[in-house]
Amino acid sequence: MAKISCTSLVTMYLIEGVLEQELKRVIFEAMPGEACGLITNDFTMVLLRNHAGVEGEFQASRDEILKAISTVRDVENVAFWHSHPGGGVGPSTFDLQHKTPFTFHCVLAVVDGELVPTWY
């Protein structure tokens, strides 16, 4: 189980508060496909391109991820997120099998027009 640090608690707050509108915008623009990205330790949202080409899945480019975190000092507190536009709350079997090496992962399910975050 991932440790919960002050930084991760603030990241959870941002997803449910400060960054929520930006995440909603990005996620709704990507629908019906999934959106994915990072929230860095300085609370910047980095949108990653979904390379999966299959509805209901996401695949982020390793090179894009490495570029996004190249200036991050505390990589342990970077959160990886992706959306479930069809409302599937929580990580799917695919998500668990393809988990990135980041400590914090979040699925942002779209349920009745609202984001429902699940950390795993």
pLDDT-derived band of residue 2, with 50, 70 and 90 as boundaries? very low
pLDDT, residue 90, reads: 92
Query: Is 30's pLDDT higher than 90?
Result: yes
Q: What values do phi and psi take at 6, rounded to 5? A: -60, -40
pLDDT tens-digit map of 46-56: 899 998 877 77
User: Is the CB of residue 30 less than 8 Å from the CB of residue 52?
Assistant: no
Residue environment code for 104-114, b if the CB has 16+ CB neighbours within 10 A, otherwise e: bbbbbbbeeee
> DSSP character for 91?
-
Q: What's at 101, amino acid-wise?
A: P
CA nearest neighbour of 52 among 79, 29, 23, 83: 83
pLDDT-derived band of residue 17, with 50, 70 and 90 as boundaries? low
pLDDT tens-digit map of 69-108: 887 777 778 889 999 999 899 999 989 998 888 878 899 9
pLDDT, residue 77, reads: 80
The answer to whether the Cα torsion of 18, 22, 110, 103 is positive or negative is negative
Determine if the pTM surpasses 0.95: no
pLDDT-derived band of residue 14, with 50, 70 and 90 as boundaries? low
